Structure 1
């Protein structure tokens, strides 16, 4: 892979109150995409935004809090994408749930740096209240669709457990794809097709252990 383009540095700029906050978020996200969350400082983000190193503290306690905002917005964007495809394919339908999984993978591919940030590149983010909240809202959307599917199709089983099964599979597929781990064994894999073929089985009721 070639070198990523150097961050564009703005000359010192004047921002209105809300604009400064958004400019800092945009600059930090740009650096996350170019370098990864650990390989730049808040001062670097200030240079990209074209503001002084004191400016961020009008809105944030530090770099960590800006990363939390980016991760939280990532979960919100993922939730919105999921809701959009469900609205198009039908709530509580097999087609809608398949489309949610495919939208998840598309997000991971299109927003890889943010996806990695959301899911563990910065472990401390997992403890941030609003990141946890938006992540929970995102997963609750999956549970709701699974619950409706189960009700309509008379599938007996715990909706949360089935949703966890789906998420485990789809997240694993997305991670394997963006890390290029499929290349060694299945370089021509169609992940969307894989999700479509696996989802019906994943939505089936959980097997119950027999009593001895």
Structure 2
């Protein structure tokens, strides 16, 4: 994994040059970079939390414990003689590596923009759909089956891009403390921004932090 310090330092140098070329005053440049540094540090902290959530899930699974995930509601069906579950929740998806991939991106011209995405899962009677939103690119799965419990098991699914019609494969694991780990094709996230200098060909690991239920 790339060194987070070098990612930030490279980003800060590039953005400072960019803002100066746009004739922004020093105080505005300093304010923008201070805001971006706060968000970057938050993304790094979430990656550390994801590591802890993975360790917790490994410990639980090793002891044959599979607790119900955050945001899940379950019910017993006497007719089907089984337990069904439902959920409708949001996760914010982040990665410090996205900051490097979006170097030169036109997206930085939008006020307070930072690289991130959103994942929404809606489950009714054990039948789920997963939706991804990365701004100009959105994706959705067909009806799929996902676990209601915390597990280190990695699941692979297919989602369709609604802008291009292309299908992509992604991996997801539902970990402890509401975290998810998502392996997603980085190119499909970065490529729409024509200013980006990097066109990654490998999947990127995204940290998904549970934002709570959809009201």
Provide the TM-score with structure 1 as the length reference. Answer: 0.24
The structure in which a higher percent of residues are helix is: 1
Provide the TM-score with structure 2 as the length reference. Answer: 0.24
In terms of Rg, which structure is larger? 1
